[in-house]
Amino acid sequence: MMTKAIPAVFLICAVLASSSSVHAQTDELDEAPSDFKIELPAASDEIETVTVMDQEVVPMAGLFEVNDDVNVRSGPGTDFERIAGLKAGDRVRAIGRAQDPTWTAISKDGETLGFVYTPILVPVVDGTLGEQFFGSYMSPNKKNGIACDYRFRFEGKVPVEGDDFVTSDYEVRFRCANQVGANLFYAHMFLTESPVDMDTGFHLIDLDVRSIGDGMEEFLSTRFLYHPKTGVMTFEGHSLPRYAKPLKVQTFKTKNIKDALTQALEASVASWTEAAWDLLLKKPQ
């Protein structure tokens, strides 16, 4: 399977975040790492609990990836029986947080598994899109008269080189034209399924246009930081400023992953300069 590299700044965030993880059989520790933080409800909040394996837990939801081998126990603590094990990379869903919040009840494939040590769980999103979809873009700049339609297609998941998480990858086919020229070209887009920064919970969305640049190590890349819990997406930067200008609107409110990808795509296209369109549409110099 092919792997990809992500810009060093994001890998540094991921490495720093993962460095606080505990290895092999994390649940045997007596206490959580000092930098492990859990958001607890205010004392005045009323908490409705559910029962999992005779244990009261506060309901929670979300998809998580296990970042190391870990025991699954029949209750929230190492004194409870080991009933299963998970391997690094396994994905589970949260059911609820125990009274001791360093333990979380989980399920897999719709079945309750038991309790695992909370810091071993990394929140992830599933960027799989079942069907291709289509859209269009028309430049507000009447001078260049750019009009495009695009087809967006999910390609699959790719491991990130040097790290233990994956990206969801997408192919975007553009057909663009103006009064001077027209062309069909492709771009590549990806979403990191794990956060690139565990503290903030931001994921990276990236659009690469290899037709602009040398097509190998240097090409036009537009990056966004996406927070799936709040739906907020923020423009992070361009790789080749000559071919793209800063976005007029840099913060976006999104409904879901598909909407975030669509907004990132169209905002990127709107930022391309005349020099970029000259390359894309084969305009004579």
pLDDT tens digit string along 107-119?
999 999 999 999 9
Helix (H, G, I), strand (E, B) or coil at 244: strand
pLDDT at position 187 over 80: yes
Q: Is residue 56 helix, strand or coil? A: strand
pLDDT at residue 208 greater than cutoff 90: yes
Quick one: pLDDT at residue 252? 97
**Nearest Cα residue to 92 out of 67, 75, 73:** 67
As a whole number of Å, the CA-based R_g of the chain is: 22
Backbone angles phi, psi at 261, to 5 degrees: -65, -40
pTM: 0.77
Instruction: Name the burial class of residue 284, with classes exposed (0-12), middle (13-18) and buried (19+) by CB atoms within 10 angstroms of its CB.
Output: exposed
Q: What letter does residue 179 receive in the DSSP assignment?
A: S
Torsion of CA 185, 6, 266, 180, to 10 degrees: -30
Examine the pLDDT at 269 and tell me if it is beyond 60. yes
Outline where 130-256 has alpha helix (H): none
- Section 170-198 average pLDDT: 93
pLDDT tens across 211-263, in order? 998 766 799 999 999 999 899 999 999 999 999 999 989 999 999 999 999 99
DSSP state of 272: B
Cα–Cα dist 55/236, whole Å: 43
> Which segment, 2-6, 196-200, 281-285, is predicted with the most confidence on average?
196-200
Helix (H) or strand (E) holding 3: none
Domains of the chain with bracketed CATH: 37-124 (2.30.30.40), 133-280 (no CATH)
Alpha-carbon distances of 13 from 19, 144, 201, 275, rounded to whole Å: 10, 40, 11, 33
At 179, the pLDDT band (50, 70, 90 cuts) reads confident
pLDDT in tens, 39-78: 445 444 567 899 999 999 999 988 999 988 999 999 999 9
Angle at 15 between CA 10 and CA 238, to 5 degrees: 5
Tokens describing residue 148:
């495009």
Distance from the first to the final alpha carbon of the chain: 41
* 3-class SS of residue 111: strand
What is the predicted pLDDT for the residue at 22? 34
The string of pLDDT tens digits covering residues 67-106 is: 889 999 999 999 999 999 999 889 999 999 999 999 999 9
